[in-house]
């Protein structure tokens, strides 16, 4: 509708001019901006009735569109506001995709080439991070907690590639995950007891399988008296405890100095008197430092990309080798066997629902370079059932007054 579009452009220009004159910051303090936009739209509606200005049309729609332009992220804001959308990605200005319930769809949103670059610059504004020819990749957190990843040409062929993974934390505890059907009440009670007992837990799964959400829910079971240190590439964890220190990595500056990798954070965390160490995701050689910390008696948890619990164990044995030539399997394999207690694997089913697929225990033994594992819970006929394995360190459960055999029940029983 040309008239409505013209009215939108006029209102947009007037709002931006008033923002400039009054020295307002739409991102630092959006409340006055909302009032300002409504005032300008109301004033425009009155003036348009007695002048040659284009008719306003849908006033509420104009208010929303102007707010998206000046205090949001333009045409992408509607997807950021949609609670059903989990992720947004832009392959090129005319191809914007979103994911709902694990399934992707091409939207009708079309961006101009310069508009996309402007939006990315605006998204990075509060993060302190940059993307340019010397740093063609960027991973940053947006103001609402969403995770932004950008790659620019000539790493990409023609257009910058943008991914926005929204922080849609629908569950804050294992009980809420039970309500969503992600795991069963019996598995939830077992995992709560395992966290309280101080077992080291690895959460594995594919991309968008719900690893970070599950890790967040596991942290809710940590006793309130503990001091927790978290290390992440980008802040995503929300630990609901009073004594928490959260740290994230840092990019190098324009001179190529000042980078703080995840491995450095893990090392520094050990100097901060932690009761428990949480690493958002293990990807590279920081796995070695995490294993050393866990092997020293410090309880911890982390996530890892893998297709199964056993593949996650194998990967934990491989990643530390990236730390240097002097690190070998003879050291890593027994260290993983002694340091990791449980692997909780999550996956997405055919309908897009995230579910815990298996819980595997590591009794602490390895032979011929292969770590022994035991299934505590496994999936049969689409349901989580009790397997015949038991977790290590039963004495830790007993010290808390937890009857482990009663908690787990008989092997082979369907998990209710």
Q: Cα(320)–Cα(322) distance, rounded to whole angstroms?
A: 5
Instruction: Determine the distance from the C-alpha atom of residue 380 to the mean position of all C-alpha atoms in its chain, rounded to a whole number.
Output: 29
Statement: residue 72 has pLDDT above 90 = no
Question: Would you give the DSSP letter of residue 135?
Answer: B
Fold classification of 77-165 (topology level): Beta-Lactamase (3.30.450)
Closest CA to 234 of 204, 260, 269: 260
Determine the Cα–Cα distance for residues 230 and 387; give it in Å rounded to an integer. Answer: 32
Per the prediction, the chain carries an average pLDDT of 88
- Average pLDDT of the segment spanning 140-153: 88
Structure-token match 């697929």, residue found: 357
C-alpha distances in angstroms, 178 versus 171, 181, 186? Answer: 9, 5, 9
For residue 292, give Cα distances in angstroms to 87, 107, 336: 35, 47, 9
198-241, pLDDT tens digit by residue? 999 999 999 888 899 999 999 999 999 999 999 999 888 999 99
Q: Which of 340, 409, 410, 344 is nearest to 379 (CA)?
A: 344
Summarize the confidence of residues 45-73 as an average pLDDT.
81
Mean pLDDT of 38-62: 80
Same fold, 77-165 and 174-408: no
pLDDT at 101 over 90: no
Q: Where are the domains of the chain?
A: 2-72, 77-165, 174-408
CATH fold of the domain at 174-408: Rossmann fold (3.40.50)
User: Is residue 399 exposed (0-12), middle (13-18) or buried (19+ Cβ within 10 Å)?
Assistant: exposed
Q: 2 falls in which pLDDT band (50, 70, 90)?
A: very low
Q: What percent of the chain has pLDDT over 90?
A: 55
* pLDDT of residue 382 exceeding 70: yes
Beta strand segments in 80-193, E: 85-92, 95-100, 103-106, 137-141, 147-151, 161-165
Which helix (H) or strand (E) segment holds residue 94: the answer is none
pLDDT over 80 (residue 29): no
- DSSP 8-state assignment for residue 414: B
Q: What is the DSSP letter of 55?
A: P
Band (pLDDT 50/70/90 cuts) for residue 67 is confident
- Is 403:198 a contact under the CB 8 Å cutoff? no
CA 73 to chain centre: 20
- Check: pTM over 0.85? Answer yes or no: no
21-47: average pLDDT: 82
pLDDT the model gives residue 6: 64
| Structure tokens that stand for 179 in this block | 């309500």
The alpha-carbon radius of gyration of the chain (Å, integer) is 25
Q: Which two tokens stand for residue 400?
A: 């808390």
Spatial distance between the Cα atoms of 303 and 192, rounded to a whole number of angstroms = 17
d(CA 140, CA 339): 31
pLDDT at 55 over 80: no
Q: What φ, ψ does residue 394 adopt, rounded to 5°?
A: -60, -25
């Amino acid at each position: 509708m040309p008239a409505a579009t013209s009215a939108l452009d006029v209102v947009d220009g007037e709002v931006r001019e008033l923002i400039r004159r009054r020295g307002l910051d739409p991102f630092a303090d959006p409340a006055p901006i909302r009032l300002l936009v409504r005032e300008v739209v109301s004033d425009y509606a009155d003036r348009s009735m007695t002048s040659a200005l284009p008719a306003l049309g849908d006033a509420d729609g104009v208010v929303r569109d102007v707010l998206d332009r000046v205090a949001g992220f333009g045409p992408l804001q509607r997807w950021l506001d949609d609670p059903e959308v989990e992720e947004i990605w832009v392959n090129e200005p005319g191809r914007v995709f979103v994911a709902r319930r694990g399934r992707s769809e091409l939207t009708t949103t079309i961006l101009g080439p310069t508009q996309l670059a402007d939006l990315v610059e605006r998204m990075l504004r509060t993060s302190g991070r940059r993307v340019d020819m010397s740093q063609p990749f960027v991973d940053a957190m947006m103001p609402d907690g969403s995770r932004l990843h950008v790659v620019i040409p000539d790493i990409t062929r023609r257009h910058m590639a943008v991914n926005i993974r929204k922080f849609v934390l629908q569950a804050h505890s294992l009980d809420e995950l039970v309500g969503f059907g992600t795991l069963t009440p019996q598995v939830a009670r077992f995992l709560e007891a395992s966290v309280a007992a101080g077992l080291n837990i690895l959460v594995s799964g594919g991309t968008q399988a719900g690893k970070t959400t599950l890790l967040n829910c596991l942290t809710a079971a940590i006793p309130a008296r503990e001091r927790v240190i978290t290390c992440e590439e980008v802040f995503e964890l929300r630990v609901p405890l009073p004594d928490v220190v959260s740290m994230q990595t840092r990019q190098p500056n324009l001179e190529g100095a000042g980078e703080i990798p995840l491995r450095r954070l893990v090392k520094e965390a050990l100097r901060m008197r932690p009761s428990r160490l949480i690493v958002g995701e293990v990807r590279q050689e920081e796995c070695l430092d995490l294993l050393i910390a866990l092997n020293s008696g410090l309880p911890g948890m982390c996530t890892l990309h893998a297709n199964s619990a056993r593949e996650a164990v194998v990967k934990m044995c491989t990643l530390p080798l990236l730390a240097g030539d002097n690190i070998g399997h003879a050291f890593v394999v027994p260290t993983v066997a002694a340091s990791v207690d449980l692997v909780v694997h999550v996956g997405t089913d055919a309908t897009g629902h995230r579910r815990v697929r298996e819980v595997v225990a590591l009794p602490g033994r390895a032979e011929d370079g292969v770590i022994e594992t035991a299934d505590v819970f496994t999936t049969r006929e689409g349901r989580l059932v009790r397997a015949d394995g038991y977790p290590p360190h039963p004495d830790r459960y007993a010290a808390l007054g937890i009857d482990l055999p009663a908690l787990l029940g008989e092997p082979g029983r369907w998990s209710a």
